Amino acid sequence: MDIQFARKTSSKGKGGIMINRIKEKIDEKTYLLIITILMFIVMYGAGMIIFADKGFAKPQMFLNLFVNNAGLIVTAVGMTMVMITGGIDISVGSVIGLTCMMLAYMMEFMNVPAFLAILIVLVFGILFGSVQGFLIAYLKEQPFIVTLAGMFFCRGLTAVISSDMINISNATFLKIAQAKIYFPFLSTVNKKGKVITPFIYPSVVIALIVLVVIYLVLKYTKFGRAIYAVGGNQQSALLMGLNVRSTKMKTYVLNGFLASLGGVLFALNTCAGFVEQGRGFEMEAIASAVIGGTLLTGGVGNVIGSLFGVLIKGTIESFITTQGTLSSWWTRIVISLLLAFFIVLQSIFASIKSKNR
Amino acid sequence: MKKTLKKITGFQLFLPIVALILVLLFNMIKTPDFFKITVLNGTLYGFMIDIINRASELAILAIGMTLVVASSAGTDISVGAVSAVTAAIICYSLGPDQQNYQMPYLVGILLGLLGGVLCGMWNGLLVAKMRIQPMVATLILFTAGRGISQLICAGQIIHVEKESYRILGSFIPKVPLPTPVFVAAALALVTWLVLKKTALGMYIQAIGINRRAGRLIGINSQLIIFMTYAYCGLCSGIAGAIMSSRIAACDANNIGLNIELDAILAVALGGNSLGGGKFSLLGSIIGAITIQALTTSLYAMHVTADQLPIYKAIVVVIIVTLQSAEFRKWISSLQGKRPVKAKVAS
């Protein structure tokens, strides 16, 4: 359906000036974004109709999309940035696992105060990002290989710290994790006459702040514009006088920071550290970015799109949990299928573009 | 003297052979009876046999991976997951009965391999036709593959109880060497013959070095790349069959876990550029044996399976850094010489 729609609209190019003007505004970048937003609305709407009796339409269900995916939002934002430069980072899943494990170990066995532990973890993320960034930007190694090695390194390091599951029982940490922010104006009364006030956790607030900050950085700062320029065409960016290497390096450092911040939010959600934590998370982050309209070839992307990517993933997950009989493996498979679909869509757009030229 | 030294170090198999010798020397010092081979019931036992035995799957995967890397300058990271899919199909179709298989043994194996090839073709379609970066394209199966495998097994571990299923992963009676070694050797031989006797090997190199140039001289680059991915799927399938035969079951979560890094490592260690182009199958096979030797010796040093990836990740980074043109330039500028000419491939 969507493919046909895209083909039709793009072949209409020789029509009136109006169409041309609209076409100028809606180029391939926005097509993908619009498809994503529509898809989310349709999916969620369908959910509200199909599972109306199971509480899909309640405001809390919608807020849960954010509550369950706060860590993923932050990670996906970082991934979007890296992908705009034309690179990729598949180490984020294991960085998240390692972050949770480090937090849990430091707080449980070394009595490190919660805030100090979080700080240490974030510094580690920055350091890890710098090493990867150096290898990729300055030694020009393939991002995939470097971050694949990074992925296995972090996973192994997690196992070295502890191969058992550690539950976090630090009082301060749990306080942050369980503080609820209520939305009284969305209150509903359930069947028993009890008033239910929807709430979110602080992690959601942090995630949304990160989203807004990175959105502004990408849109209005010199660094943000440089990221797009480098991803669009590295050669031209270099000839324009941009420092391609340091831009790439900074992106990976920032991504390392965001990955570990994502890990902290993830830990706030799960309150535990174990070896398998966050496995396959890189895939979800990449899928969210791609679904949200970030091109794999670089140069095009938007963190708002990635947010919708995350929400779509969250919706699929709640479909599967609400439905009840499907195994959780279906989430992965459906996400992979969606990713494949959007990748193919991108490739079709690219081929249309090169034919028009 | 200097010239001969340069000639020796410039030899493509220099790095893999030296690495293998280093690992073996280390083991020889640490475990004195490392090279001891005993004969028991007409079959050979010993550390070396064990390494060659365990390296077989890896070598099989490395053969497929070498071709993929050479043709498309990208790696297939779905090999482990595809192995799990194949294992699941085979175990599902052969069934848990002790006396009889649900269907003939060969049919089951062929069905599994077909599954592997189909997975490979899917990857190939995305990479060759849709022109998607190989790693992103294979990332789809990397995550979905285990899910598919779980679905086939219905989330459980399927055991194949019939004794003869174990043969592929252990010994044929009265034959001194383990079966996987023969499978790997046969596959390597066939691949080598096909690549040498036909122009395929040269085509793959030509495309890997410059896809556009390859197309301009009349090579159907899309078809060739598609074929390498399909072949890599077949190799993953064969490896998956051996892996599941070793444990006579299909464990969707653990079959071929983390093996994609090993396979990439084997290719890189074999002196093949990860940037595509020139390749050496023998190098990759030696690389696979080296990695298995490394794994075995790390296990001997009481490193758990969970922690292994750290060491391998470090080795990968070192090798890739050594291969990097920028790094070589930097080194030669330190020595005050003019920069080493970057290889055509990079």
Q: What's the gap in Å between the CA of A179 and the closest CA on chain B?
A: 34
Mean pLDDT (whole number) for B315-319: 82
Give the closest-approach CA distance of A73 to chain B in angstroms: 19
A309: helix, coil or strand? helix
Query: How far is Cα A256 from Cα A269, in angstroms, rounded to an integer?
Result: 20
CB atoms A343 and B126 under 8 Å: yes
Distance from CA of A301 to the nearest CA of B (A): 16
B201: pLDDT strictly greater than 80: yes
Query: Do B321 and A141 lie within an 8 Å CB cutoff?
Result: yes
Considering only CB atoms, which chain A residues are within 8 Å of B156?
none
Instruction: Look at residue A6 and tell me whether its pLDDT is greater than 50.
Output: no
d(CA A73, CA B12) in angstroms, rounded, equals: 46
What pLDDT score was predicted for residue A269? Answer: 87
Which one of B142, B147, B274 has the shortest CB-CB distance to A329? B147
Whether B155 and A329 lie within 8 Å, measured CB to CB: yes
Q: Where along chain A do its domains lie?
A: 55-355
Nearest-CB residue to A140 (from B74, B317, B325): B325
pLDDT of residue B84: 94
Report residue B44: phi and psi, to 5°: -90, 140
Query: What three-state secondary structure class fits B159?
Result: strand
Query: Which residue of chain A is at minimal alpha-carbon distance from B135?
Result: A144
The CA distance from A202 to the nearest CA of chain B, in Å, is 30
Residue in B with minimal Cα distance to A331: B147
Residue A280 and residue B310: Cβ atoms within 8 Å? no
- A139–B324 CB contact, under 8 Å: yes
Which one, of B219, B198, B201, lies nearest residue B210 by Cα?
B219
Q: Which residue matches tokens 């359930």?
A: A190
Question: What pLDDT does A272 receive?
Answer: 86
pLDDT band for A331, please (50, 70, 90 cuts): confident
Which residues in A lie closer than 8 A to residue B132 (C-beta atoms)?
A: 296, 343, 347
**pTM of the predicted protein model:** 0.82
Tokens linked to B296: 């075995």
Q: Is the pLDDT of residue A326 over 90?
A: no
Q: What pLDDT is attached to residue B338?
A: 53
Q: Show the tokens assigned to A280.
A: 């396959």
pLDDT tens-digit readout, A87-129 = 889 899 999 999 999 999 999 898 889 899 999 999 999 999 9
Give residue A11's pLDDT: 46
Residue given tokens 């595509």 in the structure block: B276
Query: Which ipTM did the prediction report?
Result: 0.76
Judge: A152–B143 Cβ closer than 8 Å, yes or no.
no
CA-based nearest residue to B289, from B59, B63, B64:
B59
Say which CATH class A55-355 falls into: mainly alpha
Residues, chain A, total?
357
User: What CA–CA distance (Å, rounded) separates A77 from A262?
Assistant: 10
Tens-place pLDDT, residues B260-297: 888 988 888 888 888 888 888 998 999 999 889 888 88
Using the 8-state DSSP alphabet, how is residue B195 labeled? H
Across chain B, what does the average pLDDT equal? 85
pLDDT, position A351: 78
Decide if A86 contacts A228 (C-beta within 8 A).
no
pLDDT computed for residue A248 by the predictor: 94
Could you give the CA distance from residue A314 to residue A316 in angstroms, rounded to a whole number? 5
What residue of B is the nearest CA neighbor of A338? B140
What length is written for chain B? Answer: 346
Query: Are B345 and B277 within 8 A, CB to CB?
Result: yes
Instruction: Look at residue A24 in the predicted model and tell me its pLDDT.
Output: 60
- Across the interface, of B137, B142, B310, the residue whose CB is closest to A153 is B310
Question: pLDDT above 70 covers what percent of chain A?
Answer: 91
Contacts of A333 in chain B (CB under 8 A): 144, 147-148, 151
Measured CA to CA, the distance from residue B156 to residue A159 in angstroms comes to 25
Instruction: Count CA atoms within 13 Å of residue A96 on its CB side.
Output: 35
Nearest to B274 among A145, A158, A350 (CB): A145
CB B89 within 8 A of CB B115: yes
The H or E element containing residue B80 is helix B79-94
In this prediction, residue A27 has a pLDDT band, given cuts at 50, 70 and 90, of low
Structure tokens, B196: 């040498």
CB spacing of B135 vs A153 below 8 angstroms = no
